[in-house]
């Protein structure tokens, strides 16, 4: 029925996703610093147990998933304040099979980011989305 | 109620978006060639009249919106077959205000791409999404 | 006779461009921060009325034109001080038709940057140029 | 009086540059293939003796100068036809000191590219410029 | 004693690495096509059983490790023939722990590429190296 | 017998390279700032006389060699702390012919970087390598 990426995207958009196969964590972060976006996602995912806090393996998987999602948000340069723009983002991190119908393929991670990017001035902004998927 | 990016994303995911403010065109394209994705989106948008077929202005706006959406899909290099991967994508092109509640801000374009990217082998793939927004 | 890009380039090089079709703004900025270059160009263009100060549309157009010009200056990474280099740049922003002979194609923006990039040490530098063009 | 980059830019724009310090080669190339632009510049520079045809050193210097100039032309991805665009370019290759007044700093190369980039359709294009400078 | 990256690098350089912790596969590929380099590495790794041939998971891990190694080889654009250059590469793929002394951290993959890149002309080339590491 | 890249790589890995053709400088630097890596390499190379401290030419050659090596280390974005990662690196700078057997081809520079990159937390890291080569 559900695939991990679609669950992440619909969740970050605030659409209800009835499902008991995937683990889901959500949050939000507004910043001119890319590293703060990465940190916010990692902190939430560890706190909720989607990745183990004391092993590098899960963090490595999540880190690359976040960077891939940021490519969709930044569209060319993984930079925010350093090129005079700011982002207000919601995020969803999802752990589970790539597809709810194919649990035999092991654990994967999806990170979806959705929100607004623009000049550091209210209303001077437009929407962005990004999705990163990695094997766990 | 609705913003142009959300309309594009929900549409490309196959979610119903009741709305009469935005013009929407959808389609799909599977290819190892980035230029075929660009061409498929441009052809559909012109055929349905979202951009004028005989002026550069609209095509310039759409072209950059498609490239920005492809950044989310490709996450680093705007390449498919040349780095041994293929993509099967649905697309939605939306024209209208940035936000249905703020029509005074003029016409904008959103291009959403959603689908699967992976090795040229059935099932060896995962989801991707991309969104590009530009003023028209 | 004149095209918008050529007018921008010749102006930034200090060559006289007799013309009454285009609006032209010039200035200069020296910095190790990319965002300061963006800010200097945007401030000058707004102050002189090339783009409206109170609408996102013009700022969005100008922002992308500046980033495109910076690609020519930076040649690979939109970074200055963060990779230990500095830039001293003149800039010209031009608004008008893409070509003085084809005014029917609407309003466009050109941003030209020209100057020197190099190590933060006098004389350890060479010339750079960049041009970004966008529909307004 | 003259610096190597300015000589290259003015020459490629068709402006007369009275000068007997620099060696200058010009040409033009239209293509959807980036490698054809590189090849056209290299062939002209070797034919006119700006770099030695039988040593790698000069070719290495020129190759990187051309790629840097292409960053200004392509503004993000060194791709033309593969992302559905084409370029018609003039080029100028200049060899000499970085600055006519400082001949003691040895030999340098400048490559300037100027022309139009756009959709593969007449008139659907805008201007671009690029400049690459390297020590010889 | 040994870490997975060092084993991959020394192996690809032809240095003997006495070790019975890591699985190692080597090969070579010369091409102007990036996808042929990816394919050569993947084929060798599957043939020797470093990754399972019938699951996406291992291929996904290896694919990203190869792309990361290619960043070291290409230094900016994952392109070869399309920007008029060719590469002759040896490769080593290594599977095992990140460090021989810390086997508890699970299975990782390292891909090392070493060889020459340059113009398509004998001797007009210099050395390159790249290393990509991913969790398996 | 020896090529400049191999000498740089083996040296940075701590392997003995008996040789009297090449000039070699080594050092190490740990940082979240890319510019500090560049500065550490440049300072060491000047102090040991591999490049002249008072001419731009050698610094230009070295600067680009360091940036190329950093592409292997960073694999996509020349950023460290700004995307929440840190690097602990050894470096070797080598000056001499491209190949010990072909001294007639003039002076070249090789910069090799080797070490660990990862989260700012002990052990949450993996190996990286980078090599940049430029004519001097």
pLDDT tens, C16-68? 888 789 999 999 999 999 999 999 999 999 999 999 988 999 999 999 999 99
- Region E97-119: mean pLDDT is 92
Question: Are C130 and D72 inside 8 Å of each other by CB?
Answer: yes
How far is the alpha carbon of F55 from chain E, nearest alpha carbon, in Å?
A: 25
Distance CA D77, CA B91 (A): 22
Question: Looking at residue B103, what is its pLDDT?
Answer: 80
How far is the alpha carbon of F74 from chain C, nearest alpha carbon, in Å?
A: 12
Residue E53 has pLDDT above 90, yes or no: no
pLDDT band at A116, cuts 50/70/90? very high
Determine the residue of chain A that is closest to B117 in CA distance: A133
How far is the alpha carbon of B19 from chain D, nearest alpha carbon, in Å?
A: 33
What's the domain count of chain F? 1
- Inter-residue contact C76 to E76 (CB < 8 Å): yes
- Residue F131 pairs with which residues in a beta bridge? F112
By a Cβ cutoff of 8 Å, what residues of chain A touch chain B?
3-6, 9-10, 13, 15, 68, 71-76, 98, 108, 110, 112, 114, 126-133
Q: Which chain F residues touch D61 with a CB distance below 8 Å?
A: 135
Q: Which of A51-60, E15-24, E26-35 has the highest mean pLDDT?
A: E26-35
Cβ pairs D/F, distance under 8 A: 20
Token pair 């709810």 in the structure block, residue: A100
Q: Tally Cβ neighbours within 10 Å of residue E14.
A: 11
- Inter-residue contact A57 to E97 (CB < 8 Å): no
Question: Looking at residue C96, what is its pLDDT?
Answer: 96
Question: Looking at residue D1, what is its pLDDT?
Answer: 55
b/e burial code for range D37-75 (CB count within 10 A of at least 16 → b): bbbbbbebbbeeebbeeeebbbbbbbbbbbbbbbbbbbb
Maximal CA-CA distance, chain C:
48
Question: Looking at residue C64, what is its pLDDT?
Answer: 98
Question: Are A60 and F123 inside 8 Å of each other by CB?
Answer: no
Least-confidence region, from A112-121, E99-108, F36-45, F62-71 = E99-108
pLDDT above 70 as % of chain D: 99
By a Cβ cutoff of 8 Å, what residues of chain B touch chain D?
33-35, 38-39, 42, 56, 59-60, 63, 67, 77-79, 82
Q: Per 3-state DSSP, what percentage of chain F is helix, strand, and coil (rounded to 5)?
A: 35, 30, 30
Token pair 């083996």 in the structure block, residue: F10
How far is the alpha carbon of C116 from chain F, nearest alpha carbon, in Å?
A: 13
Which of A63, A74, A80 has the most F C-beta neighbours within 10 Å, making it the best mutation to test the interface with F?
A: A63
| Cα–Cα separations (whole angstroms), residue D128 to C14, D119, F21 | 19, 14, 45
pLDDT band at F67, cuts 50/70/90? very high
Question: Looking at residue F6, what is its pLDDT?
Answer: 97
Question: Looking at residue B40, what is its pLDDT?
Answer: 98
Distance CA D118, CA B60 (A): 8
Q: Which chain F residues touch D56 with a CB distance below 8 Å?
A: 98, 105
How far is the alpha carbon of F89 from chain D, nearest alpha carbon, in Å?
A: 27
Nearest by Cα to B47 from B15, B14, B81, B93: B93
| Cα–Cα separations (whole angstroms), residue A25 to A131, C76, C88, E46 | 15, 36, 46, 35
Token pair 């190379």 in the structure block, residue: F45
DSSP for D87-120 reads EEEEEEEEEE-SBTT-GGG--EEEEEEEEEEESS
> Considering chain A, what is the average pLDDT of its residues?
95
pLDDT band at E101, cuts 50/70/90? confident
Note the pTM of the prediction, 2 decimals: 0.98
Q: Which chain F residues touch D3 with a CB distance below 8 Å?
A: none
> Is this complex scored with an ipTM above 0.90?
yes
Question: Are D61 and F135 inside 8 Å of each other by CB?
Answer: yes
- Region F52-75: mean pLDDT is 96
D66: phi then psi, degrees, rounded to nearest 5:
-65, -45
Question: Looking at residue C104, what is its pLDDT?
Answer: 78
Question: Are F83 and A33 inside 8 Å of each other by CB?
Answer: no
Structure token pair of residue B88: 């099967």
E71: phi then psi, degrees, rounded to nearest 5:
-60, -40
How far is the alpha carbon of B131 from chain A, nearest alpha carbon, in Å?
A: 6
Question: Are D128 and C131 inside 8 Å of each other by CB?
Answer: yes
Q: Which chain E residues touch B119 with a CB distance below 8 Å?
A: 56, 59, 63
Any idea what DSSP says for residue B52?
A: -
Residue F105 has pLDDT above 60, yes or no: yes
b/e burial code for range A54-83 (CB count within 10 A of at least 16 → b): eebbbbbbbbbbbbbbbbbbbbbbbbbbbb
- Inter-residue contact D38 to E83 (CB < 8 Å): yes
pLDDT band at D89, cuts 50/70/90? very high
Sheet (strand C125-135) strand order: C23-31, C86-96, C108-118, C125-135
Q: Which residues make Cβ contacts (< 8 Å) with residue C114, sequence separation at least 6?
A: C9, C12, C13, C89, C90, C91, C127, C128, C129, C130, D9
- Region E9-33: mean pLDDT is 94
Question: Looking at residue E19, what is its pLDDT?
Answer: 79
Question: Are A6 and B128 inside 8 Å of each other by CB?
Answer: no
Distance CA A126, CA B99 (A): 9
Report, as ranges of residue numbers, the positions in chain B whose pLDDT lies below 50: none
CATH of residue E33: 3.40.1510.10
Determine the residue of chain B that is closest to E58 in CA distance: B124
- CA B12 from centre of chain: 8
- Using CB atoms, which chains have 3+ pairs under 8 A with C? A, B, D, F
Give the tens place of pLDDT for each residue, D46-82: 999 999 988 999 999 999 999 999 999 999 999 999 9
pLDDT band at C102, cuts 50/70/90? confident
- Inter-residue contact D116 to D88 (CB < 8 Å): yes
Q: Tally Cβ neighbours within 10 Å of residue B36.
A: 16
Question: Looking at residue A1, what is its pLDDT?
Answer: 55
Nearest by Cα to D100 from D17, D37, D32: D17
Residue D101 has pLDDT above 90, yes or no: no
- Region F67-75: mean pLDDT is 98
- Inter-residue contact C89 to C115 (CB < 8 Å): yes
Question: Looking at residue C65, what is its pLDDT?
Answer: 98
Question: Are D135 and F106 inside 8 Å of each other by CB?
Answer: no
Q: Which chain A residues touch F116 with a CB distance below 8 Å?
A: none
Distance CA D123, CA D111 (A): 26
How far is the alpha carbon of C54 from chain A, nearest alpha carbon, in Å?
A: 9
Question: Looking at residue B106, what is its pLDDT?
Answer: 85
Determine the residue of chain E that is closest to F111 in CA distance: E128
Q: Which chain F residues touch E131 with a CB distance below 8 Å?
A: 72, 127-129
Question: Looking at residue A63, what is its pLDDT?
Answer: 98
pLDDT band at E1, cuts 50/70/90? low
D15: phi then psi, degrees, rounded to nearest 5:
-85, 140
pLDDT band at C1, cuts 50/70/90? low
Distance CA A91, CA A112 (A): 6
Question: Are B78 and D79 inside 8 Å of each other by CB?
Answer: yes
Residue E31 has pLDDT above 80, yes or no: yes
Determine the residue of chain F that is closest to C123 in CA distance: F56
- Region C121-125: mean pLDDT is 93
F102: phi then psi, degrees, rounded to nearest 5:
-125, 60
pLDDT above 90 as % of chain D: 88
Q: Which domain holds residue E131?
A: 4-135
Any idea what DSSP says for residue D16?
A: -
């Amino acid at each position: 029925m559900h695939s991990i990426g679609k669950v992440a995207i619909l969740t970050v958009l605030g659409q209800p996703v009835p499902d008991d196969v995937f683990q889901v964590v959500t949050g939000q972060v507004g910043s001119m610093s890319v590293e703060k976006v990465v940190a916010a996602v990692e902190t939430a995912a560890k706190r909720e147990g989607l990745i183990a806090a004391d092993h590098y393996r899960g963090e490595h998987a999540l880190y690359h998933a976040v960077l891939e999602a940021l490519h969709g948000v930044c569209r060319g340069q993984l930079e925010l304040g350093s090129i005079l723009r700011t982002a207000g983002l919601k995020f969803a991190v999802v752990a589970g099979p790539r597809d709810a119908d194919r649990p035999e393929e092991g654990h994967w991670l999806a990170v979806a980011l959705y929100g607004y990017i623009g000049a550091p001035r209210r209303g001077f902004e437009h929407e962005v989305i990004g999705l990163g998927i990695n094997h766990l």
